[in-house]
Amino acid sequence: MLAVTDNAATVIRDLTEQEGVPEGAGLRIATDESAGAFRLSLAPEPQEGDQVVDAAGARLFLDQEAAQILDDKALDAAVDAQGGVQFAVGERPQRA
């Protein structure tokens, strides 16, 4: 299952707790086959077949293909000086 860093969990909670975002919303990660990439969006609820990841109160919804691709990965996030958010997928840290 996709691991979520503390930074990513904080950013996702900040995004989903904004005014106008429904309670229970999450960050949805879906595959975009035409672009060969992932598409990220705020979603009010998971779509049928989505894997739901709850990391420290941050909810993620992964479509089936994204869940398979990201199974052994970690999601991180950073916010730049202008408030822009960047997500990054990397290798999951190995546990001792």
Residue 96 lies in a domain: no
Residue 57 lies in a domain: yes
Number of helices (H), then strands (E), belonging to the chain: the values are 2, 7
Residue 60 lies in a domain: yes
What pLDDT does 94 receive?
65
Residue 67 lies in a domain: yes
Give the count of domains, the chain: 1
Residue 18 lies in a domain: yes
pTM of the model: 0.87
The rounded distance, in Å, linking the Cα atoms of 7 and 30 is: 21
Which CATH number covers residue 73?
Answer: 2.60.300.12
Chunked in runs of 10, what are the mean pLDDT values of the chain (96 residues)?
Answer: 93 92 94 84 95 93 94 91 88 68
When computed from its CA atoms, the radius of gyration of the chain, rounded to whole angstroms, is: 13
Residue 40 lies in a domain: yes
